[in-house]
């Protein structure tokens, strides 16, 4: 049987769930093809202020905020041991009149809260199948599911992650580059309080970032070279915990590891266009960036909010949500944000990896300026938390 919808979201990760809730919450008849359950995700996400506001507006945040820890202070410490080292930089949310820069939450709690909210919305049909075939014609997209069923819609929102089938079906290519780095992710228990402070040690092989979770727990994203990552991965828990404690300079006291671990090769994958032929891309289907500066999903949530806003408006005014004009407006809304964030993260990462003395000097100077020049530091903090150029309605607390 073929079911027909105004819009279909493919992919039940956090970006897809947000897009589906935004659309269906605005009464747009929507299906979410969430995919079959895949392995556990032990990552955490530091949700910046705009993302938290959007999740509040969509009635998601109320369900998971107890599992999130505020981030009130961010420290960057140069641990490169190089000749030209940067001073320690400390950013305090109170300096820009915020209670916190954002909230760190385990993805599994965030996705559970989103799934609970999705189940409540009458205009949203949840389909726990994989999309296996996507056929695009001039006025509709037909999607075959792996149970033999099918769905048609005027617009497909591709939230199906890094190896997006929908992106391939729309003929959108990606530009990719890899770094000689691997990110290891852990959830830690520790004996000392984190005091709502995240600490990012900048090491020559990549950042080592501790971000608070509720209680005496923190998440760690440990970026290092692939050989070091392989050696660390092979260590028994006790030895690995001792090594992490050493690299954290014991600031959190004694460390124990929780069972789940993640391993991610560091790369950038950017779609050459964010939409074409009745398909728009959101989240990692559109952009994969290294986990530096907590930007990835925050970008993905802004994608979801932007397309939600455009489709809700088209629905109210009786326009085709998959029309070329709507897709062009989506590209306009999202291009600058995606390009600027990808470049900023790339530059920061390269400046760490580079042995080129002038680049190290420039990085040190940049961080020194941030530490000592108040207006510059405050402007950087405001832009990091809420980019001036990209604040869809949901990020401003306005319902669709
Ligand atoms: C180590 C690490 C730390 C990070 N930390 C942060 C952070 O602090 N802040 C931040 O903002 N971002 C962070 N990120 C980025 C963030 O985790 C990702 O941007 C985010 O998880 C991507 O969400 P998504 O919904 O786009 O994709 P995914 O979570 O990959 O979801 C894609 C979904 O699509 C489904 N799917 C795939 N194919 C199909 C199909 N054919 N049919 C149906 N469904 C399908 C999959 O099952 C999956 O559920 C981090 C990333 C890493 C690697």
For ligand 1, say whether the CB of 38 is within 6 Å of any of its atoms.
yes
Site to probe by mutation for ligand 1, drawn from 8, 41, 43, 220 as the one with most ligand atoms within 8 Å of Cβ, is 43
Instruction: Using the mean position of ligand 1's atoms as its centre, give its distance from the Cα of residue 251 in Å.
Output: 30
DSSP-based three-state secondary structure for 347: helix
pLDDT tens profile 114-139:
999 999 999 999 999 999 999 999 99
Q: Check residue 303 and give its pLDDT.
A: 98
pLDDT tens profile 198-246:
999 988 888 899 999 999 999 999 999 999 999 999 999 999 999 999 9
Q: What is the mean pLDDT of residues 179-191?
A: 95
Q: Check residue 353 and give its pLDDT.
A: 63
Least confident of 154-158, 341-345, 376-380: 376-380
Q: Is the pLDDT of residue 371 over 70?
A: no
The dihedral built from the CA positions of residue 170, 284, 150 and 154, taken in this order, carries a sign that is: negative
Q: Is the full-model pTM beyond 0.85?
A: yes
CA atoms of 26 and 311, how far apart (whole Å): 9
313 phi, psi to nearest 5 deg: -65, -40
pLDDT tens profile 62-91:
999 999 999 999 998 887 766 556 678 888
CA atoms of 297 and 167, how far apart (whole Å): 18
Q: What is the mean pLDDT of residues 352-362?
A: 61
Confidence of residue 34 (pLDDT cuts 50, 70, 90): very high
Q: Check residue 146 and give its pLDDT.
A: 94
Instruction: Using the mean position of ligand 1's atoms as its centre, give its distance from the Cα of residue 162 in Å.
Output: 8
Q: Check residue 42 and give its pLDDT.
A: 83
Which structure tokens are listed for 281?
Answer: 């891309």
Q: What is the mean pLDDT of residues 135-150?
A: 95
Instruction: Using the mean position of ligand 1's atoms as its centre, give its distance from the Cα of residue 221 in Å.
Output: 15
For ligand 1, say whether the CB of 161 is within 6 Å of any of its atoms.
yes
For the chain, the distance separating the N- and C-terminal CA atoms, rounded to the nearest angstrom, is 31
- Ligand 1 nearest-atom number relative to CA 17: 25
Nearest to 280 by CA among 47, 3, 1, 23: 23
Instruction: Using the mean position of ligand 1's atoms as its centre, give its distance from the Cα of residue 108 in Å.
Output: 11
Confidence of residue 368 (pLDDT cuts 50, 70, 90): low
- Ligand 1 nearest-atom number relative to CA 282: 26
Q: Is the pLDDT of residue 340 over 90?
A: no
Mean pLDDT of the chain: 91
Nearest CA to ligand 1 atom 29: 13
């Amino acid at each position: 049987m073929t079911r027909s919808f105004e819009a279909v979201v493919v992919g039940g990760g956090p970006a897809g769930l947000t897009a589906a809730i935004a659309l269906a919450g605005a009464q747009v008849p929507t299906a979410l093809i969430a995919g079959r359950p895949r392995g556990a995700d032990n990552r955490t996400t530091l949700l910046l202020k705009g993302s938290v506001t959007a999740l509040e507006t969509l009635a998601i945040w109320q369900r998971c905020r107890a599992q999130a820890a505020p981030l009130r202070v961010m420290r960057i410490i140069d641990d490169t041991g190089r000749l030209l080292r940067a001073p320690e930089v400390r950013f305090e949310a109170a300096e820009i009149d915020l209670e916190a820069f954002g909230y760190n939450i385990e993805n599994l709690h965030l996705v559970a809260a989103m799934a609970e909210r999705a189940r409540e919305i009458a205009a949203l049909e949840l389909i726990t199948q994989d999309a296996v075939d996507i056929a695009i014609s001039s006025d509709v997209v037909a999607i075959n599911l792996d149970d033999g069923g099918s769905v048609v819609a005027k617009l497909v929102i591709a939230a199906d992650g890094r190896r997006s089938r929908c992106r391939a079906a729309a003929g959108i290519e990606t530009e990719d580059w890899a770094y000689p780095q691997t990110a290891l992710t852990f959830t830690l228990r520790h004996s000392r309080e984190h005091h709502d402070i995240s600490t990012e040690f900048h090491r020559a092989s990549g950042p080592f970032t501790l971000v608070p979770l509720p209680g005496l727990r923190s998440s760690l994203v440990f970026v290092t070279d692939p050989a070091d990552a392989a050696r660390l991965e092979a260590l028994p828990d006790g030895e690995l915990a001792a090594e992490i404690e050493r690299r954290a300079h014991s600031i959190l006291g004694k460390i124990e590891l929780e069972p789940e671990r993640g391993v991610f090769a560091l790369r950038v994958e950017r779609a050459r266009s964010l939409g074409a032929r009745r398909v728009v891309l959101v989240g990692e289907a559109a952009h994969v960036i290294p986990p530096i500066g907590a930007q990835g999903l925050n970008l993905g949530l802004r994608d979801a909010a932007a397309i939600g806003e455009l489709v809700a408006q088209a629905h109210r005014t009786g326009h085709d949500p998959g029309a070329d004009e709507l897709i062009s407006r989506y590209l306009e809304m999202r291009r600058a944000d995606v390009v600027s964030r990808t470049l900023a993260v790339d530059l920061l990462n390269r400046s760490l990896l580079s042995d080129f003395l002038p680049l190290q000097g420039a990085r040190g100077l940049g961080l020194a300026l941030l530490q000592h020049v108040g207006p510059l530091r405050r402007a950087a903090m405001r832009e990091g938390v809420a980019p001036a150029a990209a604040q869809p309605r949901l990020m401003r607390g306005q319902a669709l």
